Structure 1
């Protein structure tokens, strides 16, 4: 199987930076419009409730941004990567939590100032009003999910449990929209302002539904993914070859990953993000997985011919971001899978550094060496325990990287492996003065 080489294209602005500018610019422009409209139409029943409306409005604005970040808009995903978008989503989510709590507290205070009851009685009076009750339910869901997303609690939950609970946020969004509609938005005094507000909501929700539901379902119906072969690569590593119809139409690139489900073999809710371990060739796809969990461990028993449900391709770990003619590809353990695909696709002078504890753990090494011979690339297998021996074995120390690849600052560098290894490499690259634009690293994870 041969992959189609993609031409190297360089742009004045890096794709990731361009996407950040576009996303941030569009968001700030939207916020500016809303701020102007709020100044004109946002006055509440008293000054306290005006502030409460301000925080309520910005709660909705943050929800719009949150949904956009997880809508899996292809243009954004290919340039920013799901890991970065998910990280932004997480941190902005805590901003949403505090905005919701502030809005609720100020609204209760505002109505308390208007009436003769205390704050607690005012709270229960508002709970008896349908619009307010819906807002309270939405806020409660957000608070619960945010609490469960704290790292200390999140580690105690399995991914499937946490993900199912996290989906309640979509329920909160729906209830929140009903709350807005019944309360009357800030902009009911202006037809144009109200049309603008709800049009943006429709666009955001459409992007979410299309990206998360319509496109994945359509692609699976159109391509009809099926298991073509299951090949053990080592005692705890297996490759699954997937075929289907019209795979030349699937916009996949070397370095990307897909979210895989194997209905009938695993439960529907069990999914894993596995990288493509071979460059897409228009006829088949391949994933290679290490047995680290129930889903990946069971792949060896997936029946040939069985249906596969795949979402994607996703990720920005591709040569779309390449800026220099030479490549340095650094992999650790099973992180070799997207690195191997990138080497297959590339026609650039390449060096591969493959870090494993022992040569027996170097899965796909024969394929790497064969590809390297075909492309005039170099493969260095880095074995041994980090820190062992005298002098200590430190393959990714700045001086060792510079010795292995003297022209390292002239190359684009792609790094994929365990988090400690990736962070060590990134620190060394920074110490060596490699420009940030030439460094590419992405975590392949669902959460």
Structure 2
């Protein structure tokens, strides 16, 4: 359904371009280049709106697809938008230079001097390129989350600066009031959705439920559990395995929110997240003082017990992945399922929350500490999993670990005959 909606919008843009393209499309090479440049610009503009809606936390999208897939689509569309913007600019300049019989540089100067809103469009395009470059894997390795986040916020300025020239200079909009109204409605609708779901409703919920840090508990290997108290938690309707966006209202934290998985099923007034020290922000949570106010948004995610259709479940956690595994085990046990938890860590100190999983009725906990080089084998290789869980092919399997470990585990599970639709995992990232 979501795919159909997204693809249908792209087809509508293509049809709009075709209907508004002059009959003289093939008259000269310059005209051809400019016409296809306009198509690249229209598709780029549509994809920008779509890209924003995908991470706009619209509940219907999130429930239908899952936040991890929406973020993945957002990243892919980001690459497409940058390529389309660059293509649009190059084709318009080269095509215009061919028509006007000018050098490329002369065409650029004439365009900036004579066409309305082109200077602001140039600045906006530069912002698009900076944001796109900052999202490349190589750049992300050298940028903190906070710097990356602030750069991404500038994309709203870029969108604003590039919008006007579409209406005042685009051949498909000049002289067509209907086209202008529809295109403006697309942008206004996108902006309204973002404002509603990312600003207004979170603030309203914050007024209804105020959270404060109750305590910060060290869990070993750099991990801490943050307990938060707040009345009316039942409004969140949170389930084990889901995550929330947390913004601690204290120095160094108040300007960004981060996704953290619930490590217990929330009660009527308490919730807990368990956080591994994987970056500046997550490392600093160990020093947050009790009483600190917290903004909590969510919950998000479909990594929940509801996806299980078997009578038994195998839960596999890698290091900090034990948080959502710990909470989802609660819900699975409440459903009366037989649960096995395999907890992988390179050190025994990394087996956080292990004491909470030992000696639980109907739950078998198998800690798997140690480096493969020291052990002489891979604890999550197919034969190792089979020796621990002989009926693995008959169970639903929930996996939460690093990307590389998760991929290796999925390969092991598939080789053991576990159906693809019985393997459940979710990437926890909003960047």
TM-score by length of 2: 0.90
Find the residue that maps to 1:393 and give its secondary structure.
coil
Aligned residues: 421
The residue that corresponds to 1:316 in the other structure is: 302
TM-aligned CA distance change 1:270 to 1:116, over 3 Å: closer
* Whole-angstrom distance in 2 between the partners of 1:180 and 1:395: 57
The answer to whether the 8 Å contact 1:396/1:425 transfers is yes
Find the residue that maps to 1:434 and give its secondary structure.
coil
Pick one of 56, 62, 70 that aligns with 1:77: 62
TM-aligned CA distance change 1:231 to 1:154, over 3 Å: closer
The residue that corresponds to 2:224 in the other structure is: 238
TM-aligned CA distance change 1:252 to 1:183, over 3 Å: farther
The residue that corresponds to 2:139 in the other structure is: 153
Any residues of structure 2 matched to 1:325-340 within 5 Å, and which?
Answer: 325-340=311-326
Any residues of structure 2 matched to 1:5-404 within 5 Å, and which?
Answer: 22-43=1-22, 46-128=31-113, 129-184=115-170, 186-187=172-173, 191-234=177-220, 236-346=222-332, 347=335, 348-370=337-359, 372-373=360-361, 376-389=362-375, 392-404=376-388
Cα shift at 1:105:
1.3
The residue that corresponds to 2:401 in the other structure is: 417
Which structure 1 residue ranges, 5 or more long, are not aligned? 1-21
Cα-to-partner distance string for 1:104-154 (whole Å, 9 max, x where unaligned)? 111112322332432210111111233222322222111122222222222
Moved more, 334-343 or 426-435: 426-435
Cα shift at 1:188:
5.2
TM-aligned CA distance change 1:360 to 1:120, over 3 Å: closer
TM-aligned CA distance change 1:265 to 1:147, over 3 Å: closer
- Higher relative contact order (Cα pairs below 8 Å, separated by 6+ residues): 1
Cα shift at 1:210:
2.1
* Whole-angstrom distance in 2 between the partners of 1:96 and 1:235: 41
Find the residue that maps to 2:366 and give its secondary structure.
strand
* Whole-angstrom distance in 1 between the partners of 2:103 and 2:138: 36
Which structure 2 residue ranges, 5 or more long, are not aligned? 26-30
Cα-to-partner distance string for 1:76-98 (whole Å, 9 max, x where unaligned)? 22443333222222222122112
Cα-to-partner distance string for 1:297-347 (whole Å, 9 max, x where unaligned)? 333432222211223222222224333332111011121010000011122
Find the residue that maps to 1:288 and give its secondary structure.
strand
Cα shift at 1:359:
3.6
The answer to whether the 8 Å contact 1:185/1:194 transfers is no
Cα-to-partner distance string for 1:52-96 (whole Å, 9 max, x where unaligned)? 221211111211221122112223224433332222222221221
